[in-house]
Structure 1
């Protein structure tokens, strides 16, 4: 049996994947999106979470299961924003765990500007940044 302080395999995996991601706190994300220089919030939370907790104004909703296809500029199923020269997707999940894995995956397929929101939507909302009901 493992000790209470032993890390799980997923915690170790997450730490490894986060090494390649320059993560943003809510203030940094808010400032980058406000600059209009290609930074776009991408909300991957399930619909039920958005309905219950609200959403980030201006964020593009993309379900996690199709994220790579929508953000790969070479994919026939991409969103138009993915083709912008300065495209910088800021991936948002609920607490900042799944978004780190998603951002790492995007970096691995060549979207080197991908990042994620530390603490996810919960941190964004708790720090007082705009939320649509």
Structure 2
């Protein structure tokens, strides 16, 4: 069964609940976007070109936090257009509990959820 990335969208409020519950947050924005707009607390940065290497469970470079295919994973980019292909790829790799944020990092920040400036200080937007 093919899953559409649109079927895997959650709103920022749902995402903050998943963050509090310990979901793995994966930031697939470009480094320049992270530097300019800030970071999400505890998110792991993975370049889109490195998704296969970081999440294929046969890869020697598999992220330790991604070893369990049932682990809850929330992917975000600047918008869902950037994260959609990544969640689709993760589903193809066998991850069963992956979602992405409607509106991406911009929506998260606009709703006032905690972010870190690139210098590491925590702020409430």
Paired residues of 1:72 and 1:111 also in contact (CA < 8 A):
no
Q: Which 4+ runs in 1 deviate beyond 3 A?
A: none
Gaps of 5+ in 1: 1-15
The correspondence for 2:43, drawn from 59, 69, 79, is 59
Task: Determine which structure has more spread, i.e. the larger CA radius of gyration.
Answer: 1
Computed over aligned residues only, the root mean square deviation of the Cα atoms, in angstroms, reads: 1.6
| Secondary structure of 2:73's aligned partner | strand
Gaps of 5+ in 2: 118-125
| Number of residue pairs matched by the alignment | 115
- What is the CA distance between 1:22 and its match in structure 2? 2.2
Task: Please report how far the alpha carbon of residue 27 of structure 1 lies from its aligned counterpart in structure 2 after TM superposition.
Answer: 0.7
Q: TM-score, normalised by structure 1?
A: 0.79
The answer (yes or no) to whether the contact 2:69–2:96 under 8 Å persists in 1 is no
Say if 2:69 and 2:94, in contact at 8 Å, map to a contact too. no
Deviations 1:35-57 (CA, angstroms, capped at 9, x unpaired): 12xx1110010111011110101
Correspondence 1:37-56 to 2 at 5 A: 39-56=23-40
